[in-house]
Structure 1
């Protein structure tokens, strides 16, 4: 009877979603899930979104808190495991927090995308947006990096990562309801809004996997 019950459960269970191609999410604390429980971060929420929408993929969390574009470049060869088939790049936030020169971030991101090209991996490049307190020249130079590099490398250009939160009609309420107390990292609810925008972009990325 026990074997029969197991057989019935096996037959009745819905087919599991295929593992799908391995997609490396290369980023900093916003990717790593800083301040959140293991299931609330960007990568696990995005994985659930893909599963729920029938998009077969296996996301690999290659986010490291505190990473600048230079630090991510130093470990990109390690992050791109032999099984990787695509890459999501979400970097630049710590360059902004430190006020590093935009030309350095541009060069580092250019090198990261060049490594992905060499490995024949399609890339989704997710921008960060510079605040205005560094001045208009800095902001213009930094914000231009992502579109320029996406065009140069044939990468998919995503929406700025935090834009779904910044687009909320009441900015102060959004900071309270969707961000952690540090005002830098989204909380689980804020990550959910980000994933609703990021998910379809990753589906587009999966369409480029060979």
Structure 2
């Protein structure tokens, strides 16, 4: 009789444990499920040889700060926002992300004066650039996917780039001359972020602020006048992480 009572109690304990513990275990598993973050951009986002780009830093360091993430790098060199719109479904939406970081502008704003005959306008007009970004944001919001906008980083002349682009309307004698059109595209991103209530990481402003400090130069942050180097990628990641933590923490609620 005593044996039967003990067995009955033991079975009930297992049953009750399964009833009460299973939801807890499921909740723990669910909470441990990583957020999917897509970094969507051009060659300043894309992987680049052995360079540790900002998406790699995010994937390594955010989990160390109790933010489990899976980061998908959807950067492609040479891309404009026109390319971004064309590949958005395949490279972003189909990944079912929780958050998308968007950074375009360098290729959109470029005027290819080196062509024969020379181009006179940016590859993507500022008006179309704005429309493309707004379209991406609208689609993400409709699907309740969080978004962070980043301005493009600022640029600097190096001999190879100066040889290609150092012609009117660019001014090769102006150290800031390669940003002639890009600075207006960066301002467009700021305006869109404000009007759509989207978090903004102002990489352009951060690079320029760094360059204005005594003994410092924007070249310190660039591989080749265009692409962020290790220090530049580190700066971008450090600017992004607090914003990502804030956005993903809000999605937990």
**TM-score of the superposed pair, with normalisation by structure 2:** 0.65
User: Kindly tell me: are residues 93 and 81 of structure 1, through their superposed partners in 2, closer, same or farther at Cα, counting changes over 3 Å?
Assistant: same
Aligned-residue Cα RMSD (Å) equals 2.7
Contact 2:103 2:150 in 1 (8 A): yes
What pairs up with 1:196-207 in 2 under 5 angstroms? 196-207=238-249
For 1:172-201, what per-residue CA distance to the aligned partner results, in whole angstroms no more than 9, with x for missing partners? Answer: 6440x3311x21011112211221111111
Residue 145 of structure 1: aligned partner: 188
For 1:6-35, what per-residue CA distance to the aligned partner results, in whole angstroms no more than 9, with x for missing partners? Answer: xxxxxxxxxxx945211111111111133x
Contact 1:122 1:208 in 2 (8 A): no
Contact 1:33 1:42 in 2 (8 A): no
Contact 1:179 1:186 in 2 (8 A): yes
Q: Aligned match of 1:30 in 36, 39, 44?
A: 44
For 1:86-114, what per-residue CA distance to the aligned partner results, in whole angstroms no more than 9, with x for missing partners? Answer: 11111112112243321011011011111
Higher RCO (C-alpha under 8 Å, 6+ residues apart): 1
Q: Aligned match of 1:86 in 70, 90, 99?
A: 99
User: Kindly tell me: are residues 163 and 155 of structure 1, through their superposed partners in 2, closer, same or farther at Cα, counting changes over 3 Å?
Assistant: same
Contact 1:162 1:194 in 2 (8 A): no
What 5-or-longer segments of structure 1 have no aligned partner? 1-16
Instruction: Report SS of the residue matched to 1:32.
Output: coil
1:95 is aligned to 2:108: yes
Q: Give the length in aligned residue pairs.
A: 188
Residue 185 of structure 1: aligned partner: 227
Instruction: Report SS of the residue matched to 2:94.
Output: coil
Q: Aligned match of 2:67 in 55, 58, 68?
A: 55
Question: 2-side partners of 1:29 and 1:76: how far apart?
Answer: 16
Which has the greater radius of gyration? 2
Question: 2-side partners of 1:116 and 1:150: how far apart?
Answer: 14
What 5-or-longer segments of structure 2 have no aligned partner? 1-30, 112-121, 156-175
**TM-score of the superposed pair, with normalisation by structure 1:** 0.77
Contact 2:47 2:73 in 1 (8 A): no
Question: 2-side partners of 1:65 and 1:148: how far apart?
Answer: 25
What is the CA distance between 1:162 and its match in structure 2? 4.3
